[in-house]
Structure 1
Amino acid sequence: MIRSARYNSRPGHSPSAQRRMKFNRERQKTVDQWGDVSIGLGERKNVHLEVSASYSGHPVQIPVHVRRGPKAGPVLFISAAVHGDEINGTGAIRQILLDPYLQLISGSLILVPVVNVLGFERHSRYLPDRRDLNRSFPGSAKGSLASRMARLILDEIIERADYGIDLHTAAVRRTNFPNVRADLDIPNVRRLTEAFGCEVTVNEKGPAGCLRRAACEAGCPTFILEAGEVWKVESLVIEYALRGIKNVLMRLGMIAGQPQEPAYRTAIRETAWIRADSAGFLHFHVAPGDIVNKGTPIATIDSLVGSEGEVIFSTENGIVLGMTTLPVTAPGEPVCHIGLVPRGRNQIAEVIRSLPKNSLHQRIRDDLATSIMVVDPHRK
Structure 2
Amino acid sequence: MNSPEQKIITILGETILPGESKTINMEIAKLHTMTPLKIPIIVERSKLDGPTVLLSAGLHGDEINGVEIVRQLITQKINKPKTGTIICIPVINVFGFINQKREFPDGRDLNRIFPGNKSGSLASRFAYHLLNEVLPHVDYAIDFHAGGASRFNVSQVRIAPNNSELKSLADVFHAPFALYSKNIAGSYRNACEKIGVKMLLFEGGKSIDLNEEVTRQGVEGSKRVLSHLGMLSDLQKIIIPDDETIYIKKSSWIRAKYSGMFHSITKVGSYIEKGQLLATISDPYGKIEHKVKSPNSGYIINVNEAPIVYQGDAIYHISNKLEE
Tell whether the structures are fold-level matches, with TM greater than 0.5: yes
Give how far 1:36 is off: 4.7
**SS class of match (2:48):** coil
Alignment partner, residue 40 of structure 2: 63
Alignment partner, residue 292 of structure 2: 312
* Distance in 1 of aligned mates of 2:198 and 2:323: 27
Does residue 286 in structure 1 map to residue 279 in structure 2? no
Does residue 160 in structure 1 map to residue 137 in structure 2? yes
Residues 221-236 of structure 1: matches in 2 within 5 Å? 221-236=198-213
Which has the greater radius of gyration?
A: 1
Residues 84-99 of structure 1: matches in 2 within 5 Å? 84-99=61-76
- Counterpart of 1:335, as a letter, is I
Alignment partner, residue 39 of structure 1: 16
**Aligned residue among 275, 283, 297 for 2:255:** 275
**SS class of match (1:212):** helix
- Deviates most, 166-175 or 199-208: 199-208
> Which segments of 5 or more consecutive residues in structure 1 lack a partner in the other structure?
1-21, 345-380
Alignment partner, residue 370 of structure 1: none
Alignment partner, residue 79 of structure 1: 56
Q: 1:259 to 1:73 in 2, by over 3 A?
A: farther
Give how far 1:26 is off: 8.6
Give how far 1:49 is off: 1.6
* Distance in 2 of aligned mates of 1:120 and 1:261: 32
- Deviates most, 193-202 or 29-38: 29-38
**Aligned residue among 280, 302, 306 for 1:322:** 302
Does residue 127 in structure 1 map to residue 104 in structure 2? yes
Alignment partner, residue 90 of structure 2: 113
* Distance in 1 of aligned mates of 2:308 and 2:125: 40
* Distance in 1 of aligned mates of 2:37 and 2:314: 37
Listed one character per residue, the Cα deviations across residues 253-282 of structure 1 (whole Å, up to 9, x for unaligned) are 001455514512222222211122223322
Does residue 242 in structure 1 map to residue 219 in structure 2? yes
- Counterpart of 2:302, as a letter, is G
Alignment partner, residue 7 of structure 1: none
Contact 1:250 1:259 in 2 (8 A): no
Would you tell me which structure has more strand in proportion to its own residues?
2
**SS class of match (1:124):** coil
Residues 142-181 of structure 1: matches in 2 within 5 Å? 142-181=119-158
* Distance in 2 of aligned mates of 1:26 and 1:312: 62
**Aligned residue among 296, 319, 326 for 2:276:** 296
* Distance in 2 of aligned mates of 1:226 and 1:35: 29
Give how far 1:205 is off: 2.2
* Distance in 2 of aligned mates of 1:190 and 1:26: 31
* Distance in 1 of aligned mates of 2:163 and 2:194: 10
Give how far 1:142 is off: 2.3
* Distance in 2 of aligned mates of 1:64 and 1:262: 35
Contact 2:45 2:80 in 1 (8 A): no
TM-score norm. by structure 2 comes to 0.92
Q: 1:287 to 1:160 in 2, by over 3 A?
A: same
* Distance in 1 of aligned mates of 2:301 and 2:10: 41
**SS class of match (1:60):** coil
Give how far 1:196 is off: 0.9
- Counterpart of 1:239, as a letter, is R
**SS class of match (1:248):** helix
- Counterpart of 2:280, as a letter, is T
**SS class of match (2:38):** strand
Does residue 254 in structure 1 map to residue 234 in structure 2? no
Contact 1:251 1:259 in 2 (8 A): no
Give how far 1:78 is off: 0.8
Contact 1:198 1:262 in 2 (8 A): no
**SS class of match (1:51):** coil
Listed one character per residue, the Cα deviations across residues 170-223 of structure 1 (whole Å, up to 9, x for unaligned) are 012211111111113223222222221112111112321110111011110112
Give how far 1:44 is off: 1.8
Contact 2:79 2:86 in 1 (8 A): no
* Distance in 2 of aligned mates of 1:313 and 1:68: 52
Give how far 1:27 is off: 6.8
* Distance in 1 of aligned mates of 2:304 and 2:78: 37
- Counterpart of 1:140, as a letter, is N
